[in-house]
Amino acid sequence: MILNELNQLLKESVAKVATKNALTFEQKLLEQVEFEISAEQLRGDYASSCCLKLAKHFNKKPVEIAEHVAANLDDSMISEIRIEGPGFINVFITPETKGALLKDILTHGDSWGATKDCTGKILLEFVSSNPTGPLHVGHGRGAVLGMAIANLLENIGYEVTKEYYVNDAGRQISILTSSVLLNAYVEDFDPDGTYEGTYVKELAERFKSKFGALDKEVDFGSLDEDKDIRLDTISAYFKSEFKQAWEEANEFSVSEILNLIKKDLQKFNIVHDHWFHESSLGVVEDDKSDLSKALKIIKDREHTYNKDGAEWFKTTEFGDDKDRVLLRENGEPTYYLTDVGYHKNKIDRNFDACINIFGADHHGYIPRLTAAFDVMKKDHQNIEFLLYQLVNLYEQGVKKTMSTRRGEYFSLSELREDLGPDVIKFFFLEKKSDHPMDFDMDLAKDESKNNPYFYAQYAYVRCCSILSKATFDPNSEIDLKEIENCFEIVSKTINYPLVLKEYALERSPHSLVHFVKDFSATFHSFYEQNPVLCEDKVTSNSRLLITSITKQILKNSFKILNVEPLEKM
């Protein structure tokens, strides 16, 4: 990488200047001695502000330091060095170097941008929506984000396992099962608190035709006014009086809804490597279960106490605002303990990092999960959380709050059927994930440059269109002046691996979307002003090179964003 070589030169030069002036050096300061990629041609290809940072330490004027440092910078790839402004060093790379690099990039092809700079195993958990209903739009944002981050991380060398945590146990699942049984076998019931979507009615129909009639009448007796008590009574009743129906309905409902979710995700080309079921965590009574292993470790390390008959974890010692219950008064594990058990399992699988992508409404879990993780983890491991904020849908300028009268959010499949998966992915990824998003459905449908998705696709289509008529000939001559004229495309192409690495480390796919938009704009502009298929063979070949690398960069970027590039529109 050209920037790495330049940085090496710069550091050596600064070290020389320091020695000459009998100055000692801290490692930390040397880390700040770096070039950055210039945004505009006037400032060269690479620029460094290191002399401004060193000024105080050296007790000299930045410009003066810059002159000394620049004097040592000598390499055949540098055509010119300028010291400008308060003491910036701007370096210009020779067009010959750039031309050679570009040709080399084409031979890398689809792998250009990928590096092996990082190693390690990462577990990325995302979506993990309860299997009690189809995915809504908000889940979609998490799903799309997770996939893009996985791609970014893999691109820099990490081994990533994408995992979906299935909450297939607990009260919500009981309520789902009850809802299915009620819809299937009870004519008149109070739906308050049950799951009510049409998918539940369909599930009930299908369950009924599969399982058949019940062997006796359903009679709950008198039910409590309170909805929570009522629902629990109904669940308990079904569980004891219709054991077989309950178990089958439970299994049937969860697996059917999971299929629904899997199908939704597939349509977005979002694929998890592993579906981890909560039910596999076992029970506290079994010492070999993840649940009891987790509990034991926290107890053994003396982070727990007993209060009101319940077992508490002193998470406040780790910055949480209150302590958390692990085992309830009745001996049952809390949801929190199952999550802790799940993370114990992740730890035992030896991942170097566990990244959890959560909806921002779950941010309260971060301190308590971090606490548990830190108690149980091995030295090399760490945990990280990425939050995404709500998605607000707008149509005709009006906010679509809820999809149905029951307060269900707009479903992801409805949105996909309306717009198609790729434009949704592009829009979801365009905004920073911790920024609430206004999703303009009319803009997403618009097929013009107003719509950044189409704008970027159109750039790719134009490349394809040109390259279907002629191709770059690597053995023929190119005009280096043409390369110089396309400063931005060339610079972004050469430095592409660096920015991808940065985006991965910052976990910011939105930056890649902005990159793609900018890059597309630059190409559209180039296209309008420079006829690629022109009389002059050398000029044409040079522009075909520019077109080819543009196509390649767009293709590779779309791949990471998990968006299919269009060759025709």
Amino acid at 232: D
Element (H, E) at 46: strand 46-48
Contact at 8 Å (CB) between 439 and 393?
yes
Residue 271 or 533 with smaller CB distance to RNA: 533
- Give 3-state DSSP helix, strand, coil % of the chain, rounded to 5: 55, 15, 30
Residue 334 or 403 with smaller CB distance to RNA: 334
Closest CA to 529 of 487, 498, 486: 486
Q: Whole-number minimum distance, CB 481 to RNA, in Å?
A: 17
Q: Report the alpha-carbon angle 168-169-171, nearest 5.
A: 120
Residue 77 or 337 with smaller CB distance to RNA: 337
CA distances from 36 to 3, 94, 164, 268, 444 (A): 8, 17, 38, 36, 35
Residue 34 or 484 with smaller CB distance to RNA: 34
CB neighbour burial string for 480-519, b if at least 16 within 10 angstroms, e if fewer: eebbebbbbbbbbbbbbbbebbbbbeebbbbbbbbbbbeb
Q: Whole-number minimum distance, CB 52 to RNA, in Å?
A: 3
Q: Whole-number minimum distance, CB 212 to RNA, in Å?
A: 29
Helices 137-155 and 421-430 cross at an angle (nearest 10°) of 80
Contact at 8 Å (CB) between 298 and 291?
no
Residue 518 or 536 with smaller CB distance to RNA: 518
Instruction: Say which residues have a Cβ less than 8 Å from residue 481's Cβ, sequence separation at least 6.
Output: 95
Q: How many CA atoms lie within 13 A of 430 on its CB side?
A: 20
Q: Whole-number minimum distance, CB 337 to RNA, in Å?
A: 9
Q: Whole-number minimum distance, CB 434 to RNA, in Å?
A: 4
Structure tokens at 226: 């309170």
Q: What is the Cα–Cα distance from 547 to 460, expressed in whole angstroms?
A: 9
Residue 34 or 159 with smaller CB distance to RNA: 34
Q: Whole-number minimum distance, CB 469 to RNA, in Å?
A: 5
Residue 382 or 392 with smaller CB distance to RNA: 392
Residue 200 or 351 with smaller CB distance to RNA: 200
Q: Whole-number minimum distance, CB 152 to RNA, in Å?
A: 14
Q: Whole-number minimum distance, CB 538 to RNA, in Å?
A: 15
Q: What is the Cα–Cα distance from 155 to 117, expressed in whole angstroms?
A: 9
Q: Whole-number minimum distance, CB 156 to RNA, in Å?
A: 15
Structure tokens at 484: 């110089």
Q: Whole-number minimum distance, CB 99 to RNA, in Å?
A: 20
Structure tokens at 57: 């330490």
Q: What is the Cα–Cα distance from 464 to 200, expressed in whole angstroms?
A: 47
Q: Whole-number minimum distance, CB 335 to RNA, in Å?
A: 3
Residue count of the chain: 569
Residue 209 or 529 with smaller CB distance to RNA: 529
Q: Where does residue 288 rank: exposed (0-12), middle (13-18), buried (19+ CB within 10 A)?
A: exposed
Residue 90 or 356 with smaller CB distance to RNA: 90
